[in-house]
Amino acid sequence: MNCGEGIDSRQIDELFINLDPIQAGGRLTTDAMKAVLAYGDGYSVCDHCTKPFRLDHISKPPLAEFHRDLASFLNMDVARLVPGARRGFQAVASAMVKPGDPVLLTAYSHYTEFLSVEQSKGTAFEIPADESHIITPDAAAARIEEVIKTTGKTPALMFIEQVDYQYGNQHPVSDLSKVAHQYDIPVLCNGAYTIGIMDVNGKELGADFLVGSGHKSMAAPAPSGVLATTSEWAEKVFRTTGIKGDLTGRTFGVKEVEMMGCTLMGVTSVGMMASFPHVKRRVKEFDAQVQYVNRIVDALLTIEGTKVQSEYPRKHTLTRMNTTDSFDTVAKTHKKKGFFLTSALRERGIAGILPGSTRVWKFNSYGITSEQADYIAESFIEIAEKEGLVCSR
């Protein structure tokens, strides 16, 4: 079946256990599917938009309440919906970074964080990771000192990933924020892999800005996300427009400059909102998900030569493996070459790992059941044994 000329229907999450690193937390809930159908039309949330004419004031559907709930869920003071976490980074960088300002990122910052700095014409300085692939407060302090010394300026902003996209490691955001705040550097915590997956408490993290992704981790359609901040910074990043039509005298009410006015006027905001009650529940069940991923990693580690490059035991479901000395040795002589592994997984109903990967690869098991965890673990071992690799179980 197709859904339009040349567009095949997508059924990956119906037919497979999907371990894609970026897709696991963005699968819609049933309520979101219903919402997507009911609110698919363009400006579908604008039926009851009245003064002061802004998305976060609409009460039917209950977007105003949703905005308040989101802020409270994150333990922040104010929240806005944005078209993806990247647009949250962009808004904050645009408000905070002046051309030439030094900006701190980390060795694991996402490309969109870098782009936001580039667009604001800031200069990027990375905080290095330690040998365990963790960004430490000591490294942050050292880098801050160095940047201040070499540039003569205090960094305008510090980006920290709560869980990074490369290793899925949890970084000590709260301690990192303390260091930054000693230098009066505001902190943007990137929660793209955590908000909607784990319990995230912005104030405890010391975040001045907290950014989440709807389509990555909040079971919402793309592009969607959240930018939350404190009362202190809200006036800056959510400042309302001051521009005026010089002849007509027109002004533009309470529209917020960095938001470009309203942001998600239909399927994206309602999808996010419909999933939200489920998201609030599922963050309480993250421990089980961590157990499952560790079960899979433990199984993989029984295959001789296999290493886990992420911190271990795992604290998050996004995980980076190194099978150069196990699966990749098979690939060298296998008739399917590097594709044998993902192909064998696919035959077993498991998808989402980059096809052809046998050296360093990532998977994300978020959202699976206990039975599926066992099945995935067993599948890896089965494939390894079938290809003559030694397994120590």
Contact between 148 and a copy of itself (CB under 8 A)? no
User: Count H helices, E strands: the chain?
Assistant: 15, 12
Torsion of CA 127, 84, 25, 323, to 10 degrees: -40
> Reduced to 3 states, what is the DSSP secondary structure of residue 174?
helix
Identify the residue among 76, 187, 270, 331 touching a copy of itself (CB under 8 A).
270
Is-contact 248 262, C-beta < 8 A?
no
Task: Out of 228, 267, 377, 389, point to the residue binding a copy of itself (CB under 8 A).
Answer: 267
Q: Specify whether the CB–CB gap between 212 and 90 falls below 8 A.
A: no
Q: Which is nearer to a copy of itself, 38 or 288 (CB)?
A: 38
- Quick note: the x/- pattern for a copy of itself over 58-97, rule CB under 8 A, is --xxx--x-----------------xx-xx-xx---x---
- Stretch 107-136 residues interacting with a copy of itself (CB under 8 A): 107, 109, 111-112, 114-119, 124-126, 128
CA dist 214 and 327 (Å) reads 34
When binding is defined by CB under 8 A, the residue of 17, 19, 20, 78 that contacts a copy of itself is 20
Cα angle 336-339-345, degrees, rounded to a multiple of 5: 115
Contact 296, 380 (CB under 8 A): yes
Pick the binder of a copy of itself from 176, 179, 198, 274 (CB under 8 A). Answer: 274
The answer to whether 279 touches 196, Cβ cutoff 8 Å, is: yes
- Per CB under 8 A, which region of 25-33, 289-297, 310-318, 381-389 contacts a copy of itself? 25-33
CB 298 within 8 A of CB 67: no
CB of 343 to a copy of itself, least distance (A): 15
Task: Report DSSP state, residue 256.
Answer: B
Least distance from C-beta 35 to a copy of itself, angstroms? 4
Interface with a copy of itself, residue 9, by CB under 8 A: yes
Our finding on whether 52 is near a copy of itself (CB under 8 A) is no
CB of 302 to a copy of itself, least distance (A): 30
d(CA 362, CA 193): 14
19 is a contact residue toward a copy of itself (CB under 8 A): no
Q: Judge whether 85 is annotated as a binding position.
A: yes
Nearest distance from residue 9's CB to a copy of itself, in Å? 4
Residues 156-175 that bind a copy of itself (CB under 8 A): none
By CB under 8 A, is residue 263 in contact with a copy of itself? yes
C-alpha span between 162 and 387 (Å, rounded)? 38
Q: Does 220 bind a copy of itself (CB under 8 A)?
A: yes
How far apart are CB 109 and a copy of itself at their closest, in Å?
8
Complete edge-to-edge strand list for the sheet that includes strand 307-308: 307-308, 318-322, 360-364
Among 31, 77, 175, 325, binds a copy of itself (CB under 8 A): 31
